[in-house]
Chains A and B, each alone.
Chain A
Amino acid sequence: MSTPIERLRALMEVSGRRDKAAFLAFFDPAIEYHYHVGTRPLIGVEWVDKFITRYWANHSETEWVLSSWAQNETQVLTEGREDYVNADGVKVSHPYMGIIEFGPDGKITAWRDYFQMKDPAATG
């Protein structure tokens, strides 16, 4: 079976094409998705479907950049940024750290993204 980082890169590829059916096929039906740690998670692939539908509708010119990562047997821990233009036409470069966990069948069972929700691109 492929490694966590290989599976994540495959997911990023379909995400870049905005192929929703292929994107959702990566997730376990009972996925627990913390799109922002600190906010209530989305439980179940139906909620991921709703989330990504809305996200893609409100974000254009999206680029998902992985700057570093490390993996163990079941998880890949990633650091990177997401560049996009938001619904107001504002360009945002959004640093984040995300952890993706895979089940025995290779499906994503948990995902936790850590970032600054408010004003994510602010610098001191």
Chain B
Amino acid sequence: MGEHMKVVEAMMAAWKKRDVEGFIATLSDDIEYHWHPTKRPAIGKDKMRKFLANYEQGFDQQEWRIVHSAEAGEVLFVEGMEVLVDRSTGVKMDNPFVQVFEVRDGLIRRMRDYYDTSQVHAPAKPDAAKASA
């Protein structure tokens, strides 16, 4: 296993325990996360905490696994599958995805996700969820 993959596996292990600060500890202060193909990225650890809170509110991620990977320099590519349950509807779905990570000094500084949002809708913002409740 490459060094970058060890960092990503630590991030995944933290999330599987819903250890938010453990997840955040794998990120650099200037983390830039392109979580959605058509939205602005989340920048910085505070935005990442908000993102994770929104995500957890919207979805129960029951599986998150990587099936293929390759590293080159600071870049790590992974292809994988997550299984999600939309908490608002109870619908379970498979979301095949790829992620590109840039890792420097043992910390993730860039993450970009590629998937089709027609299959997985973005988690609702907490305020929007309250408004619709």
Contact = CB atoms under 8 A, between A and B. Distances in A.
Interface of A is mostly: strand
B116 A114 contact: yes
Contact of B119 (A38, A79, A99, A124): A38
Contacts of A120: 37
A69 interface: yes
B75 to A, nearest CB: 5
A44 interface: no
B116 A37 contact: yes
A42 interface: no
20 contacts: A36-B116, A37-B96, A38-B96, A38-B119, A68-B72, A70-B75, A72-B69, A72-B70, A75-B70, A76-B70, A78-B77, A79-B112, A97-B98, A97-B114, A114-B97, A114-B114, A115-B37, A117-B116, A119-B38, A123-B38
Interface of A: 36-38, 68-72, 75-79, 95-97, 99, 112, 114-120, 122-124
Given A70-B71, A99-B98, A122-B38, 11 more contacts: A37-B116, A70-B75, A72-B69, A75-B70, A77-B68, A77-B79, A79-B77, A97-B114, A99-B68, A99-B77, A114-B98
